[in-house]
Amino acid sequence: MKIVHAAGELYPYVKTGGLADAVAALSATLADRGHDVSVFVPAYRAALDHKELARAERRLGLRVEMGDRSFAGDVRVLPVKKGLTVYFIGREEFFDRRFPYGNGDRNYDDNDARFVFFCKAVVEVMRIAEIRADVVHCHDWQAALLPLLVRYEERRSGIALAMKTVFTIHNIAFQGVFPMRSFALTNLPDELLNIDGLEYYGQINLMKGGILFADRVTTVSPRYAREILLPEFGCGLEGVVGTRADDLVGLVNGIDTRVWNPAKDRLLPAKYAVHDLTGKPMCRAALLKKYGMDEAFKGPVFGMICRLTEQKGLDLLLAAKDFFVQQDCRLIVLGTGEKRYESALRELAQAQPKKIAFSLRHDEEMSHWIEAGADFFLMPSHFEPCGLNQMYSQAYGTVPVVTRVGGFIDTVTDIDEHPEDGTGITFAPTAAEFVQALQRALQLHGQPEPMLAVIKRGMTRDFSWQKAAAAYEQLYHQTI
Ligand code: ADP
């Protein structure tokens, strides 16, 4: 099949979260399975600076109409490997920025123009390069206009661009909502500006367009597919999702085992595997040393890596601070995000430098060190479409402590509820339950044999993208 992916981020060129990992691994795995895959992503500063971009061929001369103005752009074409080409859509004014969507506290004011431009440029490149796709697969709000734009361009030009479109919701909390006047940038007909189109409480909502107009809608776990039909998780789009309930399917992401495999991980101070775990305590000691903590410490080490936002349950972590202060344990947190959480974590770490560490940065290498060096990985999220770190943790022999929501339910089984095959500790997202879960972790850590059994079960679970990509392949076939 000829498959086009479009997304706002793509590992390793630019990443703010799991979207980048998912699109990279899915597209690469589909290429390995013999498909012809093109991926479109904006040419942000980080992408342009990436060493691989030196190999890209620069093609100029892209023009995109937005409203009554015409905008120039360019495209860099990177042949990554057999069957996989990445197209970087460039326009300095829009994408030559350090961060993809905003500067931490605020989204950029021109995100409407930036991503309308991106989607229109994808259509334009498909037309010019004569990419006739079997499936155009768009991810999240940044690419959500594509199902509509593809059809309108086909109607305008008389050229067939795509047989079918698929839209994947990676996180329904981010919808791309803009003032009504932004609609003019799309050059789509006014008839779409109503409740059955992009209109959303007097504004426009790009994700709504993706949900309504793609041939199939998917999300990143079966549980989240059910949750987003409910007001509690649908973030205002539950009614819109409901209209597509028959076309909605939840497929769990895999993990990229070329990047996340403790037996081959070159970023780690020591490698290890389920049949030989000797490298794991070495990673633990190296991690503790890195943070100025006693390498010989025997108690449990808790790790946490995430965007510092409300979603990730930072309120629950901070509410449990007495646990970390009073118990004989260590806590290492890596993340960036909202200032209120950054300063609270900084204060906590400064008050307890021997027990609690906080790194305020994005650091791929350190994320591997924490996954390998911690005994338990904390994910107290209030909602979680799929989540990746709970899968990385199991692969790395680090026991996940996760809330009973979304993708966690599909990927972590509780050790008390399933004594035979449990791989983690699960709890309802409340402060009291979180502390209880931490207590259970302490107890488990005090029992080396059961702890080892849980570790080994996690490490032998199959979270590979082969399984996930096969499910997408089947979905594409069904849709066509
Ligand atoms: P989300 O997409 O909601 O942010 P996921 O769990 O699906 O959450 O994916 C997050 C990914 O980003 C994980 O691979 C995680 O390790 C990584 N990540 C988040 N923050 C950082 C950071 N500060 N440094 C390194 N990696 C990070």
Asked if 330 and 391 sit in the same domain, the reply is yes
Asked if 162 and 310 sit in the same domain, the reply is no
Residue owning the nearest CA to atom 17 of ligand 1: 17
For residue 241, the model assigns a pLDDT of: 98
Taking Cα atoms as reference points, which of 249, 248, 253, 275 lies closest to residue 262?
275
What is d(CA 427, CA 316) in angstroms, rounded to the nearest whole number?
12
Kindly state whether residue 274 falls inside one of the protein's structural domains: no
Instruction: Tell me if 164 sits within 8 A of 134, measured CB to CB.
Output: yes
Asked if 242 and 346 sit in the same domain, the reply is no
Q: How far is the CA of 26 from the centre of ligand 1 (A)?
A: 17
Mean pLDDT of 261-289: 98
Kindly state whether residue 268 falls inside one of the protein's structural domains: no
For residue 16, the model assigns a pLDDT of: 87
Q: How far is the CA of 134 from the centre of ligand 1 (A)?
A: 31
Please state the atom number of ligand 1 nearest to the C-alpha of residue 253.
7
Three-state secondary-structure class, residue 201: coil
Which residues' Cβ are closer than 6 Å to ligand 1? Answer: 17-19, 21, 171, 305-307, 334-336, 362-364, 367, 386-389
Which of 14, 23, 306 for a ligand 1 pocket mutation test, highest count of atoms within 8 Å of Cβ? Answer: 306
For residue 258, the model assigns a pLDDT of: 86
pTM of the complete model: 0.93
For residue 103, the model assigns a pLDDT of: 82
Residue owning the nearest CA to atom 22 of ligand 1: 362
pLDDT confidence bin for 58, thresholds 50/70/90: confident
Mean pLDDT across the chain: 96
Kindly state whether residue 445 falls inside one of the protein's structural domains: yes
Asked if 110 and 189 sit in the same domain, the reply is yes
Q: How far is the CA of 256 from the centre of ligand 1 (A)?
A: 14
The parent domain of residue 19 ranges over 2-254+465-479
For residue 195, the model assigns a pLDDT of: 94
Residue 462 has pLDDT above 90, yes or no: yes
pLDDT confidence bin for 155, thresholds 50/70/90: very high
Please state the atom number of ligand 1 nearest to the C-alpha of residue 307.
20
Tokens coding 248: 């909605």
Please state the atom number of ligand 1 nearest to the C-alpha of residue 359.
23
Kindly state whether residue 119 falls inside one of the protein's structural domains: yes
Cis omega (within 30 of 0) on the bond before 12? yes
Angle in degrees, CA 11, 285, 434, rounded to 5: 70
Asked if 328 and 390 sit in the same domain, the reply is yes
pLDDT tens readout for residues 2-54? 999 999 999 999 998 889 999 999 999 999 999 999 999 999 999 999 999 99
Q: How far is the CA of 163 from the centre of ligand 1 (A)?
A: 33
**Tally of domains in the chain:** 2
Which of 14, 260, 305 for a ligand 1 pocket mutation test, highest count of atoms within 8 Å of Cβ? Answer: 305
What is d(CA 33, CA 39) in angstroms, rounded to the nearest whole number?
16
Kindly state whether residue 432 falls inside one of the protein's structural domains: yes
Asked if 217 and 106 sit in the same domain, the reply is yes
Asked if 215 and 304 sit in the same domain, the reply is no
pLDDT tens readout for residues 389-433? 999 999 999 999 999 999 999 999 999 999 999 999 999 999 999
Residue 105 has pLDDT above 80, yes or no: no
Q: How far is the CA of 153 from the centre of ligand 1 (A)?
A: 36
Asked if 374 and 441 sit in the same domain, the reply is yes
Kindly state whether residue 221 falls inside one of the protein's structural domains: yes
Kindly state whether residue 286 falls inside one of the protein's structural domains: yes
Which of 367, 379, 391 for a ligand 1 pocket mutation test, highest count of atoms within 8 Å of Cβ? Answer: 367
Asked if 92 and 177 sit in the same domain, the reply is yes
Instruction: Tell me if 121 sits within 8 A of 115, measured CB to CB.
Output: no
Q: Kindly report the CATH number assigned to the domain that includes residue 363.
A: 3.40.50.2000
Please state the atom number of ligand 1 nearest to the C-alpha of residue 364.
25
| Strand order through the sheet with 330-337 | 356-359, 330-337, 301-308, 376-379, 399-403, 425-427
Instruction: Tell me if 405 sits within 8 A of 380, measured CB to CB.
Output: no
Asked if 50 and 190 sit in the same domain, the reply is yes
Angle in degrees, CA 258, 47, 391, rounded to 5: 30
pLDDT tens readout for residues 338-350? 999 999 999 999 9
pLDDT confidence bin for 61, thresholds 50/70/90: confident
pLDDT confidence bin for 137, thresholds 50/70/90: very high
pLDDT confidence bin for 59, thresholds 50/70/90: confident
Kindly state whether residue 267 falls inside one of the protein's structural domains: no
Asked if 316 and 181 sit in the same domain, the reply is no
pLDDT confidence bin for 478, thresholds 50/70/90: very high
Please state the atom number of ligand 1 nearest to the C-alpha of residue 22.
7
> Exposure string (b/e) for 14-25, b if CB count within 10 Å is 16 or more?
bbbebbbbbbbb
For residue 340, the model assigns a pLDDT of: 96
pLDDT confidence bin for 185, thresholds 50/70/90: very high
Asked if 240 and 306 sit in the same domain, the reply is no
What is d(CA 90, CA 178) in angstroms, rounded to the nearest whole number?
22
| Strand order through the sheet with 36-42 | 57-66, 69-81, 84-90, 36-42, 2-6, 133-139, 162-169, 216-219, 248-250
